[in-house]
Amino acid sequence: MFTKKLEFFFLAVIIAAGTVLGLNYYRSYSFKHNPLPKEYLKKIANKEKDVLDHMQKNFGFKIEFPIVITDKIPGKLYGLTSYENGHITILLNKKVMQESMNYMLESVIPYEYAHALLFYLHKNSNINGGHSKLWKQTCQKLGGKDCRQYVNQKEIIISKMPFRL
């Protein structure tokens, strides 16, 4: 009798685990192969408005740069700012967005806007790969929470935990 209950319990656990794995796979596949959900687009637009408000307050003007969400950015690069033939474009990596949306909003958008603004003002520097002291100050003035050259993966993972270490 006990053996049958144990078998039933393990079967239920296996079915539940399979269901969770299947659901996660479906969500990941759907996110990857469909346009960005409207709630994400709204959050990005709201953050861009916030950055532009910071720009107005700290620099005395607003200039919008096109933001393109793409899955063509390689690896774990969260975003980049392109300056080609006088056109400035901010690119955000869709592949990392689903797992790191809060980081994308709080850090990456102001970070890339700081690059774009310095390109626009012709004050971009090659010092430290474009991450000069002026860039860091600009990023902070645009409301950036994490104005560092490299992403700290551990901090992103820890921020998602339901408890603090």
pLDDT tens, residue by residue, 15-52 = 999 998 988 888 877 777 788 889 999 999 999 999 99
Task: Give me the pLDDT at residue 158, please.
Answer: 45
Task: Give me the pLDDT at residue 87, please.
Answer: 93
Asked whether 134 and 125 are in contact (CB, 8 A), the reply is yes
Task: Give me the pLDDT at residue 97, please.
Answer: 86
Residue 153 has pLDDT above 70, yes or no: no
Using one digit for the tens of pLDDT, what is the confidence trace for 45-94? Answer: 999 999 999 999 999 999 999 999 998 888 778 999 998 888 999 999 99
Please give the residue that has the higher pLDDT: either 106 or 150. 106
CATH number for 36-159 (one of 3.10.110, 1.10.10, 3.30.110, 3.30.2010): it is: 3.30.2010
Mean of the per-residue pLDDT values of the chain: 85
pTM of the model: 0.78
Res. 156 pLDDT band, cuts 50 70 90: very low
Task: Give me the pLDDT at residue 150, please.
Answer: 63
Task: Give me the pLDDT at residue 73, please.
Answer: 86
Task: Give me the pLDDT at residue 43, please.
Answer: 96
